[in-house]
Amino acid sequence: MTRTVRAGSKRLRYGRYSEPYRIYLITATTENRAPWFQEFNIGRLLVDCFRGTESNTKTLAFVVMPDHFHWLMQLGDHVSLSKVVQQVKSVSAHRINKHLKRHGPIWQDGFHDRALRREEDLQAIARYIVMNPIRAELVNSVRKYPLWDAIWL
């Protein structure tokens, strides 16, 4: 399998700053947009990795799409954003590869993050995140999509 690196993907890391207790919206994409998470059990492996960071983060909302995820989370103290995302991607890749009895990359290099301002409407952002499967026409109701959660819903 040939690895494709998006032009400018390394620049995603430049200027990244981790602020304790800041809320971030994280997006990460699978290698070559492979739809690993079409299979529910594979998606649950990723969800378990979000939950596994709870000593360093607070998950507010997430959705796992076939080839990427959106994760709204609050960073804890004494940990960097890059470390937390790297942990999720590394542990999930290991578990997915083990489950599928394969070797190789699962994730595209890097990730996108957006630090949210305190005055932003977090519930509106969470609604936008969990509505992704409807906008992608995967389901016609979020109730029919199993790989999402939000603390407000």
pTM (predicted TM-score): 0.89
3-state percent helix, strand, coil for the chain, nearest multiple of 5: 40, 20, 40
- Residue pLDDT, tens place only, 76-122: 998 999 999 999 999 999 999 999 999 999 999 999 999 999 889 99
Backbone angles phi, psi at 103, to 5 degrees: -130, 155
Inter-residue contact 22 to 16 (CB < 8 Å): no
Q: Is the pLDDT of residue 4 over 90?
A: no
pLDDT confidence tier of residue 149, bands split at 50, 70 and 90 = very high
**Third-level CATH fold of 18-150:** Alpha-Beta Plaits (3.30.70)
Q: How far apart are CA 115 and CA 48, in angstroms?
A: 23
